[in-house]
Amino acid sequence: MEQNYWIKCFKAADITIQVQSDYPIRKNTFHSKFKRFEVLKKGEDSITIFHHLSPVNEDRVKPGREKEVYKKDQWQIFKNKNTWIYHYNSIFPGDPVDKVVGIMNRDYSEIHIYAENISRKVYAQARFPALTLFNTDQMIFAKLLSDRQGLVIHSNGFNINGNGILIAGVSGSGKSTLSGMLKKIGHEILCDDRMFVRSVDGGFHIFGNWCYGSHPDVSPSNAPLSGIVFLKKGGQNRIQEITDQKAIVSKLMPVIVKPMLDVDGWRKYLSTFERLRKSTRFYEIEFDLSGKAGDIISDYFK
């Protein structure tokens, strides 16, 4: 079968993303991390991203038609009843693109990406970190998962003896330190700092993905969610379950990635959050730098 160099498919959280481009998609068009997620064809649950390597028609993004819903750093996002428009202006040195416009339909099943001033040669060697040509695909997955009884959580995900475990916490809480302990004793990390959680057959599963943080640890694997572990630095090494619901909410809410949603989207999001809170077991681990905490978690989730 002749290979179609203008179309590639990738899969995460059981969602297939088909990329269809104006230019041929070469070996180094995308970062090497995507090879682990590449699939041969679209699955039942799929979306399509179209790469248009040309300026967007100004009539499609004319100010005044849409309401600005977000503006911060590299992002400016607008919305009307059936369309989302993302303006991405790079602030990152070495980024292969300076400006990208993304136009999404209401459920993000069809995404049109417009990137200016990219030659075929640059596109072939760009090693884009995201299929959207933004600096990350986190924004679209937060929306896609919210429509599928799922969430994105700031956490490192592990498969520990067949159990999906999230090591959750904000930046600086010690996720990398504890994850290093778990990796050292052989447990598989699914992704660093951004984990996809989705309901599967009535229960939540965690999914590896390519939207990692500072460490390029990725896996296309998934595992049934068995627990979310929050971190507490201290002089001891011990784990205990959290049962107080107010404490759970106060720890869980800050680590949930908030997507861009309409009213119906927020209803779905909050419903999923409640299901996750009620059906998942939560823990807090206090740990020092001795490395013993890794063994404690490994033994606890046998």
Count the helices and strands in the chain (H runs, E runs): 6, 18
Structure tokens given for 13? 């959280």
63 & 173 share domain? no
pLDDT of 216: 85
127 & 158 share domain? no
130 & 70 share domain? yes
Q: Are 117 and 55 in contact (CB under 8 A)?
A: no
Structure tokens given for 266? 């927020």
Q: Look at residue 2 and tell me if it is in a domain.
A: no
Residue type, 266: W
Q: How many domains does the chain have?
A: 2
Q: Which of 143, 145, 131, 142 is nearest to 7 (CA)?
A: 131
Q: Look at residue 46 and tell me if it is in a domain.
A: yes
161 & 288 share domain? yes
160 & 296 share domain? yes
Q: Look at residue 268 and tell me if it is in a domain.
A: yes
CATH number at residue 180: 3.40.50
Residue 218: give the domain boundaries. 150-300
Question: CA end-to-end span of the chain, whole Å?
Answer: 46
Q: Look at residue 141 and tell me if it is in a domain.
A: no
- Of 135, 170, 196, the residue at which a domain comes to its end is 135
- Of 102, 135, 168, the residue at which a domain comes to its end is 135
113 & 159 share domain? no
- Of 78, 104, 135, the residue at which a domain comes to its end is 135
The one-digit pLDDT tens for each residue of the chain (302 residues) are: 345 679 999 999 999 999 999 999 999 999 999 999 999 999 999 999 999 998 888 777 766 667 889 999 999 999 988 899 999 999 988 888 999 999 999 999 999 999 988 999 999 999 999 999 999 999 999 999 999 999 999 999 999 999 999 999 877 778 888 999 999 999 999 998 899 999 999 999 999 999 988 788 899 999 999 999 999 877 789 999 999 999 999 999 999 998 888 888 899 999 999 999 999 999 999 998 888 999 999 999 98
Structure tokens given for 38? 């590449």
pLDDT of 1: 39
Grouping H, G, I as helix, E, B as strand and the rest as coil, residue 274 is helix
21 & 109 share domain? yes
104 & 224 share domain? no
